[in-house]
Amino acid sequence: MARMKFLCDAERCTECNSCVTACKNENEVPWGINRRRVVTINDGMPGERSISVACMHCSDAPCMAVCPVDCFYQTDDGVVLHDKDLCIGCGYCFYACPFGAPQFPSTGVFGSKGKMDKCTFCNGGPEEDHSHAEEQKYGSNRIAEGKLPICAEMCSSKALLAGDGDEVANIFRERGTYRGSGAGAWGWGTAYNKKSI
Amino acid sequence: MNSFARIFILFVSLFGYSYAAEKTVDAPAYTQNLKHLYTSEDISIKAPIEAGYSGVPGSKLWRNVRSGKSYSTQAIGDDVGVFINAYGEDWRLLKNQIEGVNLILIPLALITVMLIYLIFGKFKLNKGFSGKLVERFKFIEMVIHWGTAISFIILGLTGLVLLFGRFFLIPLLGKEAFATLAEFSMDMHDIVGPIFSVFLIAMIVKFIKDNFYQKGDINWFLSGGGLFGKHVDAWRFNLGEKIWFWIVFFVGLFITFSGYIMLFTGIVSGQREVIELMNIIHIASATLMILGMFGHIYMGVALEGSMSAMTTGKVDENWAKDHHSLWHKNIKE
Protein backbone atom coordinates (compact mmCIF):
# COMPACT_ATOMS: atom_id res chain seq x y z
CA MET A 1 0.00 0.00 0.00
CA ALA A 2 1.31 3.40 -0.95
CA ARG A 3 2.08 5.84 1.86
CA MET A 4 1.41 9.37 0.63
CA LYS A 5 4.00 12.02 1.43
CA PHE A 6 4.91 15.59 0.66
CA LEU A 7 8.52 16.61 0.24
CA CYS A 8 9.73 20.14 -0.47
CA ASP A 9 13.20 20.38 -1.96
CA ALA A 10 14.67 23.45 -0.26
CA GLU A 11 17.45 23.65 -2.88
CA ARG A 12 14.91 24.04 -5.67
CA CYS A 13 12.05 26.10 -4.25
CA THR A 14 12.08 29.62 -5.69
CA GLU A 15 9.27 31.03 -3.54
CA CYS A 16 7.02 31.55 -6.56
CA ASN A 17 3.97 30.68 -4.44
CA SER A 18 2.27 28.89 -7.32
CA CYS A 19 1.58 25.93 -5.04
CA VAL A 20 -0.35 28.28 -2.76
CA THR A 21 -2.26 29.78 -5.67
CA ALA A 22 -3.00 26.41 -7.24
CA CYS A 23 -4.29 25.08 -3.93
CA LYS A 24 -6.52 28.09 -3.35
CA ASN A 25 -7.94 27.80 -6.85
CA GLU A 26 -8.44 24.06 -6.88
CA ASN A 27 -10.04 23.81 -3.46
CA GLU A 28 -11.85 27.18 -3.45
CA VAL A 29 -10.14 27.99 -0.15
CA PRO A 30 -11.75 31.02 1.53
CA TRP A 31 -9.96 34.21 2.50
CA GLY A 32 -7.63 34.00 5.46
CA ILE A 33 -7.17 30.24 5.18
CA ASN A 34 -3.68 29.05 4.30
CA ARG A 35 -3.82 25.39 3.50
CA ARG A 36 -0.32 25.79 2.11
CA ARG A 37 2.21 28.56 2.59
CA VAL A 38 5.77 29.24 1.54
CA VAL A 39 8.18 30.37 4.26
CA THR A 40 11.59 31.86 3.43
CA ILE A 41 14.60 31.70 5.71
CA ASN A 42 17.31 34.40 5.32
CA ASP A 43 15.17 36.32 2.83
CA GLY A 44 17.45 38.44 0.60
CA MET A 45 20.63 37.20 2.26
CA PRO A 46 23.22 34.59 1.35
CA GLY A 47 21.87 31.14 2.03
CA GLU A 48 18.24 32.07 1.35
CA ARG A 49 16.04 29.00 1.30
CA SER A 50 12.31 28.65 0.83
CA ILE A 51 10.13 25.76 1.89
CA SER A 52 6.50 25.17 1.08
CA VAL A 53 4.64 24.03 4.21
CA ALA A 54 1.25 22.35 4.57
CA CYS A 55 -0.23 19.47 6.50
CA MET A 56 2.44 16.76 6.36
CA HIS A 57 -0.05 13.94 7.00
CA CYS A 58 1.93 12.52 9.93
CA SER A 59 1.85 8.80 10.59
CA ASP A 60 1.17 9.43 14.28
CA ALA A 61 -0.61 12.76 13.94
CA PRO A 62 -0.78 14.96 17.07
CA CYS A 63 -4.02 16.56 15.82
CA MET A 64 -5.66 13.14 15.72
CA ALA A 65 -4.44 12.37 19.21
CA VAL A 66 -5.51 15.66 20.78
CA CYS A 67 -8.93 16.20 19.15
CA PRO A 68 -11.59 16.11 21.90
CA VAL A 69 -14.31 14.92 19.50
CA ASP A 70 -12.10 12.47 17.59
CA CYS A 71 -12.98 14.00 14.21
CA PHE A 72 -9.75 12.98 12.43
CA TYR A 73 -9.13 9.79 10.54
CA GLN A 74 -6.35 8.44 8.37
CA THR A 75 -7.01 6.91 4.97
CA ASP A 76 -5.33 3.73 3.75
CA ASP A 77 -2.91 5.98 1.86
CA GLY A 78 -1.81 7.62 5.10
CA VAL A 79 -3.64 10.87 4.37
CA VAL A 80 -4.93 12.59 7.52
CA LEU A 81 -8.48 13.87 6.95
CA HIS A 82 -11.13 15.28 9.25
CA ASP A 83 -14.89 15.48 9.51
CA LYS A 84 -16.14 19.07 9.58
CA ASP A 85 -19.54 17.96 10.84
CA LEU A 86 -17.93 16.74 14.06
CA CYS A 87 -15.40 19.57 14.50
CA ILE A 88 -16.34 21.98 17.30
CA GLY A 89 -13.62 24.54 16.52
CA CYS A 90 -11.78 24.29 19.84
CA GLY A 91 -8.38 24.92 18.23
CA TYR A 92 -6.51 22.13 20.07
CA CYS A 93 -5.24 20.71 16.76
CA PHE A 94 -3.66 24.07 15.93
CA TYR A 95 -1.87 24.14 19.27
CA ALA A 96 -0.62 20.57 18.85
CA CYS A 97 0.27 20.59 15.13
CA PRO A 98 4.02 20.93 14.47
CA PHE A 99 3.42 22.57 11.09
CA GLY A 100 0.66 25.04 11.88
CA ALA A 101 -1.54 23.30 9.32
CA PRO A 102 -5.02 23.58 10.88
CA GLN A 103 -6.73 26.84 9.93
CA PHE A 104 -9.83 28.51 11.36
CA PRO A 105 -12.15 30.75 9.39
CA SER A 106 -12.96 33.23 12.16
CA THR A 107 -11.29 34.47 15.29
CA GLY A 108 -14.18 36.12 17.09
CA VAL A 109 -14.65 36.56 20.81
CA PHE A 110 -15.72 33.69 23.04
CA GLY A 111 -13.39 31.25 21.32
CA SER A 112 -15.63 30.87 18.28
CA LYS A 113 -13.19 29.80 15.64
CA GLY A 114 -15.49 27.98 13.25
CA LYS A 115 -14.87 24.60 11.65
CA MET A 116 -11.23 23.76 11.13
CA ASP A 117 -9.90 23.61 7.58
CA LYS A 118 -6.63 22.09 6.45
CA CYS A 119 -4.81 20.51 3.53
CA THR A 120 -6.56 17.30 2.48
CA PHE A 121 -3.82 16.07 0.12
CA CYS A 122 -6.52 16.87 -2.48
CA ASN A 123 -8.41 13.90 -1.08
CA GLY A 124 -11.70 15.51 -0.03
CA GLY A 125 -13.36 14.33 3.14
CA PRO A 126 -15.61 11.65 4.61
CA GLU A 127 -18.51 12.43 2.24
CA GLU A 128 -19.07 10.45 -0.93
CA ASP A 129 -16.33 11.09 -3.53
CA HIS A 130 -17.05 14.06 -5.82
CA SER A 131 -20.35 14.79 -4.10
CA HIS A 132 -21.54 18.38 -3.81
CA ALA A 133 -21.24 18.30 -0.01
CA GLU A 134 -17.64 17.11 -0.22
CA GLU A 135 -16.70 19.81 -2.67
CA GLN A 136 -18.37 22.50 -0.57
CA LYS A 137 -16.65 21.46 2.65
CA TYR A 138 -13.26 20.13 1.61
CA GLY A 139 -12.59 21.11 -1.99
CA SER A 140 -11.52 18.79 -4.76
CA ASN A 141 -10.77 15.09 -4.55
CA ARG A 142 -8.01 14.46 -7.04
CA ILE A 143 -6.79 11.28 -5.36
CA ALA A 144 -10.14 9.65 -6.23
CA GLU A 145 -9.49 10.62 -9.85
CA GLY A 146 -6.07 8.98 -9.71
CA LYS A 147 -4.25 12.30 -9.68
CA LEU A 148 -1.79 13.76 -7.21
CA PRO A 149 -2.24 17.01 -5.23
CA ILE A 150 -2.41 20.09 -7.45
CA CYS A 151 0.31 21.99 -5.55
CA ALA A 152 2.95 19.41 -6.40
CA GLU A 153 1.65 18.91 -9.95
CA MET A 154 1.86 22.66 -10.57
CA CYS A 155 5.32 23.20 -9.08
CA SER A 156 7.38 24.83 -11.84
CA SER A 157 10.78 23.84 -10.45
CA LYS A 158 9.55 20.44 -9.26
CA ALA A 159 10.68 21.38 -5.76
CA LEU A 160 7.46 20.18 -4.20
CA LEU A 161 6.98 16.45 -4.58
CA ALA A 162 3.90 14.53 -3.57
CA GLY A 163 2.93 10.91 -3.87
CA ASP A 164 3.96 7.48 -2.71
CA GLY A 165 6.68 7.94 -0.12
CA ASP A 166 8.99 5.38 -1.73
CA GLU A 167 8.86 7.05 -5.12
CA VAL A 168 9.28 10.53 -3.67
CA ALA A 169 12.30 9.29 -1.73
CA ASN A 170 13.79 7.68 -4.84
CA ILE A 171 13.40 10.86 -6.90
CA PHE A 172 14.92 12.96 -4.15
CA ARG A 173 17.80 10.56 -3.56
CA GLU A 174 18.66 10.48 -7.25
CA ARG A 175 18.52 14.24 -7.38
CA GLY A 176 20.67 14.65 -4.30
CA THR A 177 23.42 12.35 -5.48
CA TYR A 178 23.48 13.94 -8.91
CA ARG A 179 23.62 17.55 -7.89
CA GLY A 180 25.67 17.33 -4.70
CA SER A 181 25.17 20.13 -2.24
CA GLY A 182 26.57 23.44 -1.05
CA ALA A 183 29.84 24.28 -2.78
CA GLY A 184 29.85 20.78 -4.26
CA ALA A 185 26.61 21.41 -6.11
CA TRP A 186 26.33 20.99 -9.81
CA GLY A 187 26.87 24.37 -11.54
CA TRP A 188 28.39 25.95 -8.47
CA GLY A 189 31.72 26.45 -10.26
CA THR A 190 30.01 28.24 -13.12
CA ALA A 191 28.06 30.45 -10.78
CA TYR A 192 31.10 31.55 -8.83
CA ASN A 193 33.48 31.52 -11.76
CA LYS A 194 35.71 28.81 -10.39
CA LYS A 195 36.88 25.55 -11.80
CA SER A 196 34.11 23.04 -11.56
CA ILE A 197 34.23 19.28 -11.39
CA MET B 1 33.84 -10.15 33.96
CA ASN B 2 36.88 -8.88 35.82
CA SER B 3 38.20 -5.34 35.65
CA PHE B 4 41.20 -6.27 33.58
CA ALA B 5 38.97 -7.65 30.84
CA ARG B 6 36.86 -4.49 30.91
CA ILE B 7 39.89 -2.24 30.47
CA PHE B 8 41.18 -4.46 27.68
CA ILE B 9 37.85 -4.26 25.84
CA LEU B 10 37.77 -0.49 26.36
CA PHE B 11 41.22 -0.12 24.77
CA VAL B 12 40.36 -2.36 21.88
CA SER B 13 37.15 -0.47 21.16
CA LEU B 14 38.85 2.92 21.44
CA PHE B 15 41.45 1.76 18.93
CA GLY B 16 38.66 0.45 16.72
CA TYR B 17 36.79 3.75 16.80
CA SER B 18 39.83 5.87 15.96
CA TYR B 19 40.68 3.51 13.12
CA ALA B 20 37.13 3.69 11.77
CA ALA B 21 36.99 7.48 12.13
CA GLU B 22 40.19 7.81 10.07
CA LYS B 23 38.68 5.68 7.36
CA THR B 24 35.28 7.41 7.10
CA VAL B 25 36.61 10.97 7.23
CA ASP B 26 37.26 10.85 3.48
CA ALA B 27 34.78 13.15 1.74
CA PRO B 28 33.02 12.10 -1.46
CA ALA B 29 35.12 12.33 -4.59
CA TYR B 30 33.60 15.49 -5.99
CA THR B 31 34.43 17.52 -2.89
CA GLN B 32 38.09 16.44 -3.20
CA ASN B 33 38.37 18.49 -6.37
CA LEU B 34 36.82 21.52 -4.68
CA LYS B 35 38.94 21.53 -1.56
CA HIS B 36 40.84 24.57 -2.76
CA LEU B 37 37.56 26.51 -3.01
CA TYR B 38 36.74 26.05 0.65
CA THR B 39 40.00 27.69 1.68
CA SER B 40 39.82 30.57 -0.80
CA GLU B 41 39.97 34.16 0.42
CA ASP B 42 37.48 35.29 -2.23
CA ILE B 43 34.40 36.67 -0.42
CA SER B 44 31.96 35.52 -3.09
CA ILE B 45 33.06 31.99 -2.47
CA LYS B 46 33.10 32.24 1.28
CA ALA B 47 29.64 33.79 1.57
CA PRO B 48 27.57 30.60 1.21
CA ILE B 49 30.07 28.72 3.31
CA GLU B 50 29.83 31.22 6.16
CA ALA B 51 26.06 31.26 5.87
CA GLY B 52 26.27 27.65 6.92
CA TYR B 53 24.95 26.02 3.76
CA SER B 54 28.14 24.31 2.77
CA GLY B 55 29.85 21.32 4.24
CA VAL B 56 27.07 19.34 5.87
CA PRO B 57 24.13 19.99 3.59
CA GLY B 58 21.31 21.87 5.23
CA SER B 59 22.24 21.34 8.87
CA LYS B 60 21.88 25.02 9.72
CA LEU B 61 18.78 25.32 7.55
CA TRP B 62 16.98 22.51 9.38
CA ARG B 63 18.07 23.86 12.75
CA ASN B 64 16.42 27.17 11.82
CA VAL B 65 13.33 25.37 10.58
CA ARG B 66 13.05 23.60 13.94
CA SER B 67 13.77 26.77 15.99
CA GLY B 68 10.17 28.03 16.14
CA LYS B 69 11.20 31.52 15.05
CA SER B 70 9.11 33.48 12.58
CA TYR B 71 10.48 33.96 9.06
CA SER B 72 9.26 35.90 6.05
CA THR B 73 6.31 34.66 4.04
CA GLN B 74 3.72 35.98 1.63
CA ALA B 75 0.88 34.32 3.52
CA ILE B 76 -1.29 36.45 5.80
CA GLY B 77 -2.49 34.88 9.02
CA ASP B 78 -1.42 33.92 12.50
CA ASP B 79 1.97 32.30 13.03
CA VAL B 80 2.33 31.74 9.27
CA GLY B 81 6.05 32.55 9.36
CA VAL B 82 6.80 29.80 11.87
CA PHE B 83 7.87 26.49 10.35
CA ILE B 84 7.63 24.27 13.39
CA ASN B 85 5.46 24.78 16.45
CA ALA B 86 8.24 23.87 18.86
CA TYR B 87 6.17 23.31 22.02
CA GLY B 88 3.00 21.72 20.64
CA GLU B 89 4.03 18.15 21.38
CA ASP B 90 5.36 19.07 24.84
CA TRP B 91 2.01 20.64 25.62
CA ARG B 92 0.10 17.60 24.41
CA LEU B 93 2.21 15.16 26.41
CA LEU B 94 2.00 17.28 29.57
CA LYS B 95 -1.75 17.62 29.11
CA ASN B 96 -2.03 13.85 28.76
CA GLN B 97 -0.13 13.35 32.01
CA ILE B 98 -2.33 15.80 33.89
CA GLU B 99 -5.42 14.14 32.44
CA GLY B 100 -4.12 10.80 33.65
CA VAL B 101 -3.68 12.16 37.17
CA ASN B 102 -7.17 13.70 36.97
CA LEU B 103 -8.62 10.40 35.96
CA ILE B 104 -7.26 8.81 39.14
CA LEU B 105 -7.73 11.69 41.60
CA ILE B 106 -11.28 12.79 40.85
CA PRO B 107 -12.99 9.37 41.09
CA LEU B 108 -10.75 8.44 44.03
CA ALA B 109 -11.74 11.58 45.95
CA LEU B 110 -15.42 11.07 45.13
CA ILE B 111 -15.35 7.45 46.27
CA THR B 112 -13.42 8.31 49.44
CA VAL B 113 -15.86 11.04 50.45
CA MET B 114 -18.85 8.81 49.76
CA LEU B 115 -17.31 5.93 51.71
CA ILE B 116 -16.63 8.17 54.70
CA TYR B 117 -20.24 9.36 54.58
CA LEU B 118 -21.54 5.81 54.33
CA ILE B 119 -19.37 4.57 57.20
CA PHE B 120 -19.63 7.45 59.67
CA GLY B 121 -22.96 8.91 58.57
CA LYS B 122 -24.08 12.28 59.91
CA PHE B 123 -22.25 13.97 62.76
CA LYS B 124 -24.99 14.80 65.28
CA LEU B 125 -25.20 17.95 67.35
CA ASN B 126 -24.07 17.51 70.97
CA LYS B 127 -27.38 18.56 72.54
CA GLY B 128 -29.70 18.17 69.56
CA PHE B 129 -31.64 21.00 68.00
CA SER B 130 -32.64 23.81 70.34
CA GLY B 131 -35.24 25.28 68.01
CA LYS B 132 -33.76 28.73 68.40
CA LEU B 133 -32.29 30.08 65.15
CA VAL B 134 -29.36 32.39 64.62
CA GLU B 135 -28.70 34.25 61.35
CA ARG B 136 -25.46 33.03 59.80
CA PHE B 137 -25.56 34.30 56.20
CA LYS B 138 -27.35 37.27 54.70
CA PHE B 139 -29.47 36.82 51.59
CA ILE B 140 -26.87 38.46 49.33
CA GLU B 141 -24.20 36.12 50.69
CA MET B 142 -26.34 33.13 49.82
CA VAL B 143 -26.95 34.44 46.32
CA ILE B 144 -23.22 34.87 45.82
CA HIS B 145 -22.49 31.41 47.23
CA TRP B 146 -25.05 29.60 45.09
CA GLY B 147 -24.15 31.63 42.02
CA THR B 148 -20.54 30.52 42.38
CA ALA B 149 -21.53 26.96 43.22
CA ILE B 150 -23.98 26.44 40.35
CA SER B 151 -21.79 28.09 37.74
CA PHE B 152 -18.80 26.09 38.98
CA ILE B 153 -20.69 22.81 38.75
CA ILE B 154 -21.77 23.66 35.17
CA LEU B 155 -18.18 24.58 34.32
CA GLY B 156 -16.83 21.44 35.96
CA LEU B 157 -19.24 19.12 34.16
CA THR B 158 -18.80 20.74 30.74
CA GLY B 159 -15.03 20.83 31.24
CA LEU B 160 -14.94 17.14 32.12
CA VAL B 161 -17.09 16.35 29.07
CA LEU B 162 -14.54 18.11 26.87
CA LEU B 163 -11.56 16.49 28.62
CA PHE B 164 -12.74 12.90 28.90
CA GLY B 165 -15.78 12.66 26.65
CA ARG B 166 -13.72 11.21 23.84
CA PHE B 167 -12.80 8.21 25.96
CA PHE B 168 -16.04 7.64 27.87
CA LEU B 169 -18.91 9.24 26.00
CA ILE B 170 -18.08 8.48 22.36
CA PRO B 171 -18.40 4.71 22.97
CA LEU B 172 -21.78 5.38 24.62
CA LEU B 173 -23.27 8.09 22.42
CA GLY B 174 -21.48 7.70 19.11
CA LYS B 175 -19.45 10.43 17.44
CA GLU B 176 -22.29 12.57 16.04
CA ALA B 177 -24.26 12.85 19.27
CA PHE B 178 -21.11 13.48 21.25
CA ALA B 179 -19.97 16.22 18.85
CA THR B 180 -23.27 18.03 19.49
CA LEU B 181 -22.85 17.61 23.23
CA ALA B 182 -19.22 18.76 23.05
CA GLU B 183 -20.11 21.85 21.05
CA PHE B 184 -22.85 22.67 23.57
CA SER B 185 -20.41 22.06 26.41
CA MET B 186 -17.79 24.32 24.87
CA ASP B 187 -20.29 27.14 24.35
CA MET B 188 -21.68 26.74 27.86
CA HIS B 189 -18.16 26.72 29.26
CA ASP B 190 -17.37 29.94 27.39
CA ILE B 191 -20.57 31.68 28.50
CA VAL B 192 -20.74 30.49 32.11
CA GLY B 193 -17.01 31.11 32.67
CA PRO B 194 -17.28 34.91 32.86
CA ILE B 195 -20.43 34.62 35.04
CA PHE B 196 -18.45 32.40 37.43
CA SER B 197 -15.64 34.94 37.57
CA VAL B 198 -18.06 37.72 38.57
CA PHE B 199 -19.51 35.60 41.38
CA LEU B 200 -16.03 34.51 42.43
CA ILE B 201 -14.82 38.08 42.80
CA ALA B 202 -18.00 39.05 44.63
CA MET B 203 -17.46 36.15 47.00
CA ILE B 204 -13.84 37.07 47.63
CA VAL B 205 -14.85 40.65 48.40
CA LYS B 206 -17.77 39.60 50.60
CA PHE B 207 -16.05 36.95 52.67
CA ILE B 208 -12.43 38.07 52.87
CA LYS B 209 -12.75 40.01 56.10
CA ASP B 210 -13.76 36.93 58.08
CA ASN B 211 -11.07 34.74 56.58
CA PHE B 212 -7.88 36.26 57.90
CA TYR B 213 -6.08 34.54 60.72
CA GLN B 214 -7.79 35.14 64.07
CA LYS B 215 -6.59 34.37 67.58
CA GLY B 216 -7.08 30.74 68.46
CA ASP B 217 -7.16 29.37 64.92
CA ILE B 218 -3.92 27.54 65.57
CA ASN B 219 -5.60 25.61 68.41
CA TRP B 220 -8.23 24.47 65.94
CA PHE B 221 -5.48 23.17 63.71
CA LEU B 222 -3.47 21.56 66.53
CA SER B 223 -6.45 19.61 67.85
CA GLY B 224 -7.25 18.27 64.42
CA GLY B 225 -10.22 20.51 63.68
CA GLY B 226 -12.60 18.55 65.85
CA LEU B 227 -11.95 15.38 63.86
CA PHE B 228 -11.62 13.40 67.11
CA GLY B 229 -15.01 14.13 68.58
CA LYS B 230 -14.20 17.17 70.68
CA HIS B 231 -15.34 20.54 69.30
CA VAL B 232 -12.80 23.34 69.17
CA ASP B 233 -13.47 27.05 69.60
CA ALA B 234 -13.76 28.83 66.28
CA TRP B 235 -14.73 32.23 64.94
CA ARG B 236 -17.23 32.76 62.12
CA PHE B 237 -15.10 30.50 59.93
CA ASN B 238 -12.77 27.89 61.37
CA LEU B 239 -9.27 27.40 60.03
CA GLY B 240 -10.43 24.64 57.66
CA GLU B 241 -13.00 26.94 56.10
CA LYS B 242 -10.40 29.69 55.93
CA ILE B 243 -7.98 27.41 54.11
CA TRP B 244 -10.77 26.48 51.67
CA PHE B 245 -11.44 30.20 51.15
CA TRP B 246 -7.80 30.87 50.28
CA ILE B 247 -7.69 27.85 47.99
CA VAL B 248 -10.74 29.25 46.18
CA PHE B 249 -9.07 32.67 46.18
CA PHE B 250 -5.79 31.62 44.55
CA VAL B 251 -6.92 28.63 42.48
CA GLY B 252 -10.04 30.51 41.38
CA LEU B 253 -8.00 33.45 40.23
CA PHE B 254 -5.66 31.10 38.34
CA ILE B 255 -8.66 29.49 36.65
CA THR B 256 -10.34 32.75 35.69
CA PHE B 257 -7.11 34.42 34.57
CA SER B 258 -6.10 31.51 32.34
CA GLY B 259 -9.69 31.14 31.17
CA TYR B 260 -9.98 34.78 30.12
CA ILE B 261 -6.65 34.60 28.29
CA MET B 262 -7.83 31.56 26.34
CA LEU B 263 -11.27 33.04 25.74
CA PHE B 264 -10.19 36.34 24.31
CA THR B 265 -6.83 35.50 22.81
CA GLY B 266 -8.02 32.83 20.42
CA ILE B 267 -5.42 32.26 17.77
CA VAL B 268 -3.03 35.18 17.60
CA SER B 269 0.52 35.23 16.26
CA GLY B 270 3.08 34.17 18.80
CA GLN B 271 0.42 33.22 21.34
CA ARG B 272 0.44 29.47 20.81
CA GLU B 273 2.88 28.86 23.67
CA VAL B 274 0.93 31.21 25.93
CA ILE B 275 -2.32 29.40 25.30
CA GLU B 276 -0.66 26.02 25.74
CA LEU B 277 0.63 27.16 29.14
CA MET B 278 -2.74 28.66 30.12
CA ASN B 279 -4.48 25.42 29.13
CA ILE B 280 -2.23 23.44 31.47
CA ILE B 281 -2.77 25.92 34.33
CA HIS B 282 -6.51 25.85 33.71
CA ILE B 283 -6.82 22.07 33.81
CA ALA B 284 -4.54 21.63 36.83
CA SER B 285 -6.18 24.34 38.93
CA ALA B 286 -9.69 23.21 37.97
CA THR B 287 -8.80 19.74 39.23
CA LEU B 288 -7.75 21.16 42.60
CA MET B 289 -10.99 23.11 42.78
CA ILE B 290 -13.11 20.03 41.99
CA LEU B 291 -11.31 18.02 44.68
CA GLY B 292 -11.86 20.82 47.19
CA MET B 293 -15.51 21.02 46.18
CA PHE B 294 -16.05 17.36 47.11
CA GLY B 295 -14.72 18.03 50.61
CA HIS B 296 -16.80 21.20 50.93
CA ILE B 297 -20.04 19.49 49.91
CA TYR B 298 -19.28 16.60 52.26
CA MET B 299 -18.94 19.02 55.19
CA GLY B 300 -22.25 20.66 54.36
CA VAL B 301 -24.05 17.33 54.12
CA ALA B 302 -22.39 15.31 56.87
CA LEU B 303 -22.48 17.84 59.73
CA GLU B 304 -26.02 17.93 61.05
CA GLY B 305 -27.52 21.40 60.92
CA SER B 306 -24.93 22.79 58.49
CA MET B 307 -26.99 22.81 55.32
CA SER B 308 -29.60 25.26 56.57
CA ALA B 309 -26.89 27.93 56.86
CA MET B 310 -26.82 28.13 53.08
CA THR B 311 -30.44 27.23 52.30
CA THR B 312 -32.26 29.50 54.76
CA GLY B 313 -29.36 31.58 56.04
CA LYS B 314 -30.11 30.55 59.62
CA VAL B 315 -28.55 27.92 61.87
CA ASP B 316 -29.63 26.35 65.11
CA GLU B 317 -28.17 27.96 68.23
CA ASN B 318 -26.72 24.64 69.39
CA TRP B 319 -24.98 24.22 66.03
CA ALA B 320 -23.41 27.65 66.44
CA LYS B 321 -22.28 26.81 69.98
CA ASP B 322 -20.79 23.48 68.83
CA HIS B 323 -18.97 24.57 65.71
CA HIS B 324 -18.37 28.31 65.99
CA SER B 325 -18.45 29.12 69.70
CA LEU B 326 -16.40 32.31 69.53
CA TRP B 327 -18.53 33.66 66.68
CA HIS B 328 -21.69 32.78 68.59
CA LYS B 329 -20.42 34.56 71.72
CA ASN B 330 -19.55 37.54 69.55
CA ILE B 331 -23.00 37.94 67.97
CA LYS B 332 -24.76 37.40 71.29
CA GLU B 333 -23.09 40.50 72.68
Confidence of residue B219 (pLDDT cuts 50, 70, 90): confident
pLDDT tier at A69 (50, 70, 90 boundaries)? very high
B23 shares its domain with B134:
no
Tell me which residue of B297, B307, B262 sits closest to B125, measured CA to CA. B307
pLDDT bin (cut points 50, 70, 90) of residue B9 is low
Question: What is the tens place of the pLDDT at every residue in B172-195?
Answer: 999 999 999 999 999 999 999 999
Per-residue confidence (pLDDT) for residue B65, from 0 to 100:
86
A197 touches chain B (CB under 8 A): yes
A191 touching chain B per CB within 8 A: no
Output the pLDDT for position B272. 84
Chain B residue with Cα closest to A184? B31
CB contact under 8 A, A181 and B48: no
Residue A189: per-residue pLDDT: 75
Residue B103 sits in a domain whose CATH number is: 1.20.950.20
Say yes or no: B103 and B231 in one domain.
yes
A residues 11..30 contacting B (CB < 8 A): 15, 17, 20
pLDDT category, B76, cuts 50, 70, 90? confident
List A residues 27-56 in contact with B (Cβ-Cβ < 8 A).
Answer: 32-34, 37-43, 45-47, 49, 51, 53
Q: Are B125 and B27 in a shared domain?
A: no
* Coil, helix or strand at residue B226: helix
Test A182 with B30 for CB contact under 8 angstroms: no
Domain assignment present for residue B119? The answer is: yes
Q: Which of A49, A95, A110 sits opposite B275 (nearest CB)?
A: A95
DSSP letters for B70-132: B-EES--STTTTBS--TTHHHHHHHHHHHHHHHHHHHHHHHHHHHHHHHHH--B--SS---S-
- At residue B224, the pLDDT reads 67
Mean pLDDT of the B80-107 span: 91
Q: How confident is the model at residue B6 (pLDDT cuts 50, 70, 90)?
A: low
Please tell me the distance from the alpha carbon of residue A145 to that of residue A26, in angstroms, as a whole number.
14
Nearest chain B CA: its distance from A197 CA (Å): 7
pLDDT at residue A48 in the model: 85
Residues B305, B159: one domain?
yes
The total of other beta-carbon atoms located within 10 Å of residue B200's CB is: 21
pLDDT at B30: 47
Residue B54 forms contact with A (CB below 8 Å): yes
DSSP tag of A30: P
Q: Report the mean per-residue pLDDT for chain B.
A: 79
Hey, is the C-beta of B270 within 8 angstroms of any chain A C-beta? no
Q: Are B310 and B162 within one domain?
A: yes
B286 touches chain A (CB under 8 A): no
Give Cβ neighbours of residue B303 (< 8 Å, ≥ 6 apart). B122, B123, B323
Residues in B closer than 8 angstroms to A85, CB to CB, are 176, 179
What residues of chain A, 118 to 137, have a C-beta less than 8 Å from chain B? none
Q: Are residues B22 and B122 in the same domain?
A: no
- pLDDT confidence of residue A109: 53
Which residue in B320, B54, B265 sits closest to A183, CA to CA? Answer: B54
Determine the 3-state secondary structure of B320 from DSSP.
helix
Closest listed residue to residue B287, CA positions, set B299, B279, B298: B279
CA angle B78–A16–A24, rounded 5-degree value: 55
**Helices and strands of chain A, counted as H and E runs:** 7, 6
Strand partners, B135: B314
Whether residue B118 is found in the same domain as residue B176: yes
Q: Is the pLDDT of residue B151 over 50?
A: yes
What's the average model confidence in pLDDT over B199-226? 79
Of A17, A107, A182, the CB nearest to B53: A182
Tell whether A58 lies on the interface with B, counting CB pairs under 8 A. Answer: no
pLDDT value for B125: 76
Print the domain residue range for B261.
Answer: 88-332
* CATH number, domain A4-179: 3.30.70.20
Q: How confident is the model at residue B21 (pLDDT cuts 50, 70, 90)?
A: very low
Is the CB of B49 inside 8 Å of chain A's CB atoms?
A: yes
CA-to-CA distance for B130 and A190, rounded, in angstroms? 104
Interface contact B54-A182, CB threshold 8 A:
yes
- Yes or no, beta carbons of A69 and B53 under 8 Å apart: no
Per-residue model confidence (pLDDT) at position A187: 75
Number of separate domains in chain B = 2
B192 and B293 together in one domain: yes
Closest by Cβ to A110, choosing from B60, B190, B276: B190
Touching check for B82 and chain A: CB below 8 Å?
yes
Q: Identify which has the larger pLDDT, B270 or B156.
A: B156
- What share of chain B has pLDDT > 70, as a percent? 79
Q: Indicate whether B137 belongs to any domain.
A: yes
Q: Where are the domains of chain A?
A: 4-179
pLDDT of residue A111: 56
Mutate to test the interface with B, among A16, A58, A60, A110 (most CBs of B within 10 A): A110
**Min distance B141 CA to chain A CA atoms (Å):** 29
Instruction: Identify from B267, B269, B271, B273 which residue to disrupt to test chain A contact, counting A C-beta atoms within 10 A and taking the largest count.
Output: B267
Residue A99 contacts B where some CB pair is shorter than 8 Å: yes
Assess whether B43 and B167 both reside in one domain. Answer: no
Query: Among B33, B51, B179, whose Cβ lies nearest the Cβ of A69?
Result: B179
Cα gap B301→A182, rounded to integer Å? 75
One-letter-per-residue 3-state SS of B268-312: CCCCHHHHHHHHHHHHHHHHHHHHHHHHHHHHHHHECCCCHHHHC
Length of chain B: 333
Q: Helices B239-265 and B272-302 meet at what angle, rounded to 10?
A: 150
Is the domain of B181 the same as that of B312? yes
> Do B25 and B113 fall into the same domain?
no
Query: Chain B residue closest to A89 (CA)?
Result: B183
Q: How far apart are CA B160 and CA B105, in angstroms?
A: 13
Q: From the list A45, A51, A104, which residue is nearest B267 (CB)?
A: A104
| Nearest CB neighbour to A111, from listed B33, B50, B262 | B262
